[in-house]
Structure 1
Amino acid sequence: MKTKNFEVIIVGGSYAGLSAAMALGRSLRKVLIIDSGQPCNQQTPHSHNFITQDGVPPLEITEIAKEQVLKYTTIDFVNDFAVRAKKNKKGFSITTQSGDVVTAEKLIIATGVKDIIPKIDGFAECWGISMIHCPYCHGYEVQNKKTGIMANGERAFHLATLVNNLTDNLTILTTGRVDFTSDQMAKLELHQIAIIETEISAIEHQDGHLQKVILSNGEKIAFDAMYTGFPFTQHSDIPVSLGCELTEHGHIKVNEFQQTTIEGIYACGDNSTMMRSVAGAVANGNLAGAMVNAELTKEHF
């Protein structure tokens, strides 16, 4: 890497990071994208609910985006992992896994999140293929299929309200004692949504495609798809190390312009919103890039 000093460093080069970079590149900003090539949807076969790219493999979208972004000559891209960051008088410095130290006036954090996958045999192999998280991203493709929701309480009820429109064959697997209000239970019964409290011990699948759920009592139940929600962590500890606040749900706290609680640092993509989607990441990444350019313009003009 010949250049060490940039106007903007973008940590994370998937949909949000590349979108932010394009906005900045079109304003001739000197930008470095640092990306390790580990997106959270790397196992997902197709992306949906994104106009012009509906049904396209996520990696293909990324490759097209990267090719287009790097046509802007003020943008550099390095395959590396940002391990440390420091605030300095002129902005920020980033140290990468390969030992490079680069500096910039502004930072955009587009590092995504890392799912804490349940330790259930077969689950990881199905995640993003038939064990899914979002009705908007995957629901149409599994409409009218035998569908499960692996969740409890408010999360399970919220998913049930959305998925009920897509299939009449719906079961909630709470993996423990139910945690619904009496009103929620009444509505679930009204829509004939079954509830199973027995814990799940394993998932039977064929190349990531769910076939049966094995319960702790040995019972096997056939399913075609299953929605689930579980905890996540930030994919990078750099935002917190720089003092960026997190929300109660664990996302980076940003304002309506994608600015974090630390001046000069912006965040975009899955790390800063509950709406995990390619379309959403592209949108708020574009906004972050534009807002950083506006801030630089204001400071330099």
Structure 2
Amino acid sequence: MKHTTNFDVIIIGGSYAGLSAAMALGRSLRNVLVIDSGMPCNRQTPHSHNFITHDGEKPAVIAEKAKAQVLKYETVQFHEGLAVSGKKTEDGFSIATQAGEKFVGKKIIFATGLQDIMPEIKGFAECWGISVIHCPYCHGYEFRDKKTGIMANGERAFHLSGLVNNLTGNLDILTSGQAEFTEEQLEKLKVHNIHVIDKKISEIVHEDGNIKEMIFEDGNKMDFDAVYAAIPFKKQIDIPVELGCELTEEEYIKVDSFQKTSVYGIFACGDNSGMRSVANAVATGNMAGAMANSELTTEQF
């Protein structure tokens, strides 16, 4: 990397959203630094889907191609490291990394993704993104007509059931505890032959991340090909909050339709600000880059 510590824009996170923002800014001749720790949310997912022109491609291949294209723009630099703190300065913001480096930027774009919180179920983490999945649009077609489970409860499970029922008629809900459905919801699930199983799960037996069977605490077993899991998540880093950015009730970074946060000069895009998909990450990253450039233009012209 060139020996520069001052930039027009610092982008924290160098996956789809961050690279998309960097391309928009690079094409506007803005001096940009992308800081990335090399740990994308979908690093275990074998194939990316529902992203036009790249349907079925490996996520790492898409990211590598995107990075190579972005770095052709001479004003964009890429720095491998972990951003750990941020401060407001007179002219913008400063960002410090775990290694002790400090960088200054007039604008900040957070493209940091999210960190999923895995349940303490043996085999779950190894299957995450492979056969334990989160999104029917990203993964559902590949498991159409397969034996499928939904690890969720209440309204979330009911919502997913409607989407997944269109992909397979062989569907069970795994509440792993007392079911929390209304009588009306239970009746609708019954009409669609969707069974509710309230036994607690103790283990997922798998082969290279592909589910073979689910083992319950009472010793019973069930075969599944795929399981949708609605699990909690948390922020990758605390810097947005340190700088005063508001969060939503779900703990996404709160943004408007232009990916602007509640703090002037700070933008957020990708998974950390809403819908989790590659296509959405690219779209919101492009918007964040364009809007950061727009603010710079207004201030300088």
Query: Which range, TM-score by smaller chain?
Result: over 0.9
SS at match of 2:63: helix
- Amino acid in structure 2 at the alignment position of 1:40: C
For 2:133, the equivalent position in structure 1 comes to 132
Q: Which deviations, in whole Å up to 9, do the C-alpha atoms of 1:129-148 show, x marking residues without a partner?
A: 00000000000000000000
For 1:267, the equivalent position in structure 2 comes to 268
For 1:8, the equivalent position in structure 2 comes to 9
The aligned runs of 1:134-149 (5 Å cut-off) are: 134-149=135-150
The CA deviation at 1:251 is 0.3
For 1:279, the equivalent position in structure 2 comes to 279
The CA deviation at 1:99 is 1.2
> Which runs of 5 or more structure 1 residues have no equivalent in the other structure?
none
- Amino acid in structure 2 at the alignment position of 1:294: S
1:185 aligns with 2:194: no
Structure 1 range deviating more: 95-104 or 2-11: 95-104
The CA deviation at 1:98 is 1.6
**Could you tell me how far apart the structure 1 residues matched to 2:72 and 2:134 are?**
34
**Could you tell me how far apart the structure 2 residues matched to 1:281 and 1:224 are?**
28
SS at match of 2:78: strand
The aligned runs of 1:191-202 (5 Å cut-off) are: 191-202=192-203
SS at match of 1:213: strand
SS at match of 2:227: strand
For 2:252, the equivalent position in structure 1 comes to 251
For 1:227, the equivalent position in structure 2 comes to 228
- Amino acid in structure 1 at the alignment position of 2:50: N
The CA deviation at 1:8 is 0.2
For 1:296, the equivalent position in structure 2 comes to 296
The aligned runs of 1:21-100 (5 Å cut-off) are: 21-100=22-101
Q: What TM-score does the superposition give when structure 2 sets the normalisation length?
A: 0.99
**Could you tell me how far apart the structure 1 residues matched to 2:183 and 2:263 are?**
43
SS at match of 2:161: helix
For 2:164, the equivalent position in structure 1 comes to 163
**Could you tell me how far apart the structure 1 residues matched to 2:183 and 2:27 are?**
55
- Amino acid in structure 2 at the alignment position of 1:212: E
SS at match of 2:212: strand
**Could you tell me how far apart the structure 2 residues matched to 1:96 and 1:123 are?**
31
> Which runs of 5 or more structure 2 residues have no equivalent in the other structure?
none
1:116 aligns with 2:101: no
**Could you tell me how far apart the structure 1 residues matched to 2:102 and 2:129 are?**
35
Structure 1 range deviating more: 179-188 or 288-297: 179-188
- Amino acid in structure 1 at the alignment position of 2:73: Y
- Amino acid in structure 1 at the alignment position of 2:249: E
The CA deviation at 1:236 is 1.0
The CA deviation at 1:96 is 0.9
SS at match of 1:77: strand
**CA RMSD between the two structures:** 0.5
SS at match of 2:155: helix
**Could you tell me how far apart the structure 1 residues matched to 2:256 and 2:182 are?**
33
**Could you tell me how far apart the structure 2 residues matched to 1:184 and 1:292 are?**
45
Q: Which deviations, in whole Å up to 9, do the C-alpha atoms of 1:122-180 show, x marking residues without a partner?
A: 00000000000000000000000000000001110011000000001000000011111
Q: What TM-score does the superposition give when structure 1 sets the normalisation length?
A: 0.99
Give % identity.
64
- Amino acid in structure 1 at the alignment position of 2:189: L
